A = this chain, B = another copy of it.
Amino acid sequence: MNDTPPSLRDRRRAETTAAVAAAALDLAVERGWDQVTVDEVAERAGISRRTFFNYFATKDEALFHDAMAWRPGALEAFTASPAPLLDALEDLFVAQADREAPDRDRAVQVMRLVDGAPELLPGLLARIAASEEALAAAVTARGDVDEFTARTVAAVAGALARVSGTSWLAGSQPDPLSSTRAAWAALRTLVTTTDRRTP
């Protein structure tokens, strides 16, 4: 899609971004996010405090960097998939759960941090909402359903992912994938087996 070779500047920028994000996570794990200042993150990443804010608009952004993002290409594959919508969705979430170690470990660490630091929850939820929006756009692009339904589907999928992720972290489900499947199964039985007052 975009094949301009990355310039020196771009490479440096990416390196620094990663360094800052890593510094933020490390410090947060070491002593808790509320015991970490921007100055310290900047110092550990080898930049000035002011430069920190050239890379991330807020302290939280550095911590959440890439944590709740779709892996590159995943949404495009989803859009292009010939499988029926629900199957394609499942494939998408499976692929997402099977990320390579570094990204995935980071996501897990961040979620654990949020678990112990409620101030972080709003920021995390906002990231999740952003990725739901991206998913909604991809669903719309597939053309299976109208936009309203696409938004609904994306929101529900996000909700299921949140629930299954949470209960996997809490240890009540063996692994993220079966947790996700359990959530979808719960939804399906609920929708299909309940007596409806107005059929």
Query: Once the chains are docked, how many angstroms separate the CA of A166 from the CA of B154?
Result: 14
| List of B residues within 8 angstroms of A152 by Cβ | 159-160, 163, 183, 186-187, 190
CB pair B151 A155 closer than 8 Å: no
Q: Which of A156, A166, A195 has the most CB of B within 10 A?
A: A156
Other-chain contact of A148, B83, B84, B125, B167 (Cβ < 8 Å) = B167
CB-CB contacts of A162-174 with B at 8 A, as 1s and 0s? 1100110000110
Q: Is A121 an interface residue (CB 8 A)?
A: yes
CB pair B197 A156 closer than 8 Å: no
Q: Is A51 an interface residue (CB 8 A)?
A: no
Q: Is A86 an interface residue (CB 8 A)?
A: yes
Q: Is A196 an interface residue (CB 8 A)?
A: yes
| List of B residues within 8 angstroms of A172 by Cβ | 148
| List of B residues within 8 angstroms of A87 by Cβ | 194-197
| List of B residues within 8 angstroms of A196 by Cβ | 84, 86-87
| List of B residues within 8 angstroms of A187 by Cβ | 152-153, 156, 191
CB pair B121 A153 closer than 8 Å: no
Q: Is A145 an interface residue (CB 8 A)?
A: yes
6 A-B interface contacts by CB (under 8 A) = A83-B197, A84-B196, A148-B183, A151-B166, A156-B156, A156-B187
